[in-house]
Chain A
């Protein structure tokens, strides 16, 4: 008969190993699994997911991975506009280390944007091993909120 304290230690320890192992397996499979690549890309692109799946995706360490670029302009951004080289002068663009969709928050000038009521257009593009995702957002102030919508 295993004492209760010892059993608690074993269960707690095995549980932590199992959780770490499950996430490590996901990372191991990432280069070969299109399904996992799409899920990771969805997180980088801020694609809505059911809460449990969003939690799992966010706890999965994937920092500074994939290739990302973000485009911002006051006019709608068509594929032709963001494919232009060089980009038009009214389109800002940057390469981003991860989570390019964070740009839709406009962290450093959100209050000014909301106060001005300006509508901005943001496109975020991510690539990984031949898989590419692109999402267009419109961002505008409404009351005391910054409303972020996926463009249709």
Chain B
């Protein structure tokens, strides 16, 4: 039973991770497996390693090899799968074809949690695994949103200029054209200021996740991230799916209650 809980948690987090990783496959398959080879990027000053097309193509496809570890869970297979996810996301973070996509940053930190879980579970006692699995999951969520919030502590975000231009004036999908048609420029700027400050407060709240009881952190995290996806774009699924799955997986471990987590 307890080993099943660990396996279930691993599967949930890894499945969420894979969902985020591959949900933009329509774009990345063409860009990384076709365009990148047909017209190779050559940015002066950077190592050829972080521009090599084959490297990022392999790194992007490599997590497909994780699937067998989800179907046939064995400690060694889970360790190898988590290590592969960690290395693939590290490569995607530093490669110039993908360096800007936050998907790979959140993927890296969640993969680190998965690797930790896969490494310590065979040896750790239940109390240690439970306590640290929850706390580390909260720390990962907190770290991601702390960085995002600190980067917005600048007048351009606090006064709403960035949100105004990137979203309210810059997007051509619902509800932005409707808002532009309905509101005067002054009202749009006021709305942008209000929304931008709400985003900063929301991210600071998520950054405080490690300071909260796990249940509160999980509920706040799931609620806020779902709101962000609904209010921004489905593309944010690729960034946040692994974090949502991380909280879900840690919650499943918590639900193990008094049973031992050690594998049989």
Contacts and interface: CB of A to CB of B under 8 A. Distances in A.
Contacts of A73: none
B100 interface: yes
B50 interface: yes
B100 A99 contact: yes
A99 B99 contact: yes
Interface in A93-136: 94-99, 101-102, 104-105, 107, 110-111, 113-114, 127-129
B123 A8 contact: yes
A34 interface: no
B170 interface: yes
Interface in A8-57: 8-9, 12-13, 16-17, 19-20, 23-24, 27-28, 30-31, 40, 46-48, 51, 54-55
A30 B147 CA distance: 9
Contacts of B170: 94-95
Given A27-B147, A150-B44, A67 B39 contact: no
A64 B151 contact: yes
A129 B49 contact: no
A9 B151 CA distance: 34
Interface string B44-72: 11110110000000000000000000000
A31 B166 contact: no
Contacts of B140: 20
B15 interface: no
Contacts of A77: none
B229 to A, nearest CB: 14
Nearest to A101: B100
Nearest to B129: A9
A146 B44 CA distance: 11
Interface in A38-90: 40, 46-48, 51, 54-55, 58-67
A28 B47 contact: no
B215 interface: no
14 contacts: A6-B124, A12-B120, A20-B140, A30-B151, A47-B45, A58-B93, A61-B148, A67-B161, A94-B170, A107-B35, A113-B39, A114-B38, A144-B40, A148-B41
Interface of B: 31, 35, 38-47, 49-50, 90, 93-94, 96-97, 99-100, 102, 105-106, 108-109, 112-113, 116, 119-120, 122-124, 128, 132, 136, 139-140, 142-148, 150-157, 161-162, 165-166, 170, 239
Given A51-B47, A145-B42, 8 more contacts: A9-B124, A30-B150, A31-B150, A46-B43, A60-B147, A97-B162, A145-B40, A146-B42
Interface of A: 5-6, 8-9, 12-13, 16-17, 19-20, 23-24, 27-28, 30-31, 40, 46-48, 51, 54-55, 58-67, 94-99, 101-102, 104-105, 107, 110-111, 113-114, 127-129, 141-142, 144-150
